[in-house]
């Protein structure tokens, strides 16, 4: 089934976890600006080098860098039959450019899925998060631990804690979300984009069920 979906919500709400599953179920590519930026950093591209300082401090990366990455990605052929955007747009100017890009490429969003959970739960989720360096699978030390501590179930590589997942940096990321990203939701509403609110409290299966229903039923 072809769907153009967008997952929106604060850091730690579980967008990445849900996106991996949605992308598989709907057969659409997961387009995550955070993953794209980390890949650029790992391969030492000039863009990655410029982005790194912002990410390490828990700040948003300047719009022009993210827009460069995303503009290229949305022109790739695998997005023709649908895509799942995650972590973008994070500012009102990014939302406006997305609007222009979609119009230019003859695409539109079918659903914007807005996930929300209380701030202390977000901090708990992020500070316990462990990520596989090789395949990007994510775990949580308490609520979704790997079978063997520190080792990815899927590919056997070592799990790491992301450098921006320390408590101090998490608080900065949440502040950035409140100041710069939350206003994007007002933009979506004002522009009458197809927003659906999803309660992101509960376990991963419950949250997935709510998202799936919001995509299919509404
Ligand atoms: P999370 O949603 O848990 O914060 P992401 O992987 O989506 O994790 O993002 C990690 C970091 O990458 C952000 O804190 C920010 O610095 C940067 N980033 C990702 N997407 C964007 C974006 N659209 N605009 C600006 N910065 C971004």
β-bridge partners, 138: 131
β-bridge partners, 132: 159
> How many whole angstroms from 9 Cα to the centroid of ligand 1?
11
CB distance 193 to ligand 1 below 6 Å: no
CB distance 88 to ligand 1 below 6 Å: yes
Per-residue pLDDT for 2 more than 90? Answer: no
β-bridge partners, 206: none
Q: Tell me which of 73, 90, 125, 130 is the catalytic residue.
A: 90
Contact assessment for residue 34 and residue 42, using Cβ atoms and an 8 Å cutoff:
no
- Give CA 187 to chain center in angstroms: 19
Atom of ligand 1 nearest to the CA of 10: 2
DSSP state for residue 157 in the 8-state scheme? P
β-bridge partners, 46: none
Per-residue pLDDT for 46 more than 90? Answer: yes
Nearest to 6 by CA among 136, 188, 182, 177: 188
Q: What is the mean pLDDT of residues 55-81?
A: 94
* Average pLDDT across the chain, whole number: 94
User: Which residue do the tokens 């804690």 mark?
Assistant: 161
CB distance 54 to ligand 1 below 6 Å: yes
- The pLDDT tens digits of the residues spanning 176-186 come to 999 999 999 99
State percent of the chain over pLDDT 70: 99
From first CA to last CA, the distance across the chain in angstroms is 16
Would you place residue 133 in the very low, low, confident or very high pLDDT band (cuts 50, 70, 90)? confident
Per-residue pLDDT for 69 more than 80? Answer: yes
Spell out the domains of the chain, with CATH numbers in brackets. Answer: 4-117+166-212 (3.40.50.300)
């Amino acid at each position: 089934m072809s769907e153009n979906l967008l997952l929106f919500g604060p850091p730690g709400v579980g967008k990445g976890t849900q996106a991996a599953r949605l992308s598989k179920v709907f057969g659409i590519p997961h387009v995550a600006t955070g993953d794209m930026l980390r890949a650029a950093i790992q391969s030492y591209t000039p863009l990655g080098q410029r982005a790194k300082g912002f990410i390490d401090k828990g700040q948003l990366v300047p719009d022009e860098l993210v827009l460069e990455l995303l503009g290229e990605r949305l022109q790739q052929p695998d997005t023709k039959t649908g895509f799942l955007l995650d972590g973008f747009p994070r500012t009102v100017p990014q939302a406006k450019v997305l609007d222009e890009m979609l119009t230019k490429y003859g695409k539109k969003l079918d659903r914007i899925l807005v996930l929300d959970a209380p701030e202390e739960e977000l901090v708990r989720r992020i500070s316990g998060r462990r990520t596989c360096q090789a395949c990007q699978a994510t775990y949580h030390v308490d609520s979704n631990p790997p079978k063997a501590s520190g080792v990815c179930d899927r590919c056997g590589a070592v799990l790491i804690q992301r450098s921006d997942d320390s408590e101090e940096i998490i608080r900065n990321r949440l502040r950035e979300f409140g100041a710069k990203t939350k206003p994007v939701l007002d933009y979506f509403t004002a522009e009458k984009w197809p927003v659906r609110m999803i309660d992101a409290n509960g376990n991963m299966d419950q949250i997935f069920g709510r998202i799936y229903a919001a995509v299919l039923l509404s």
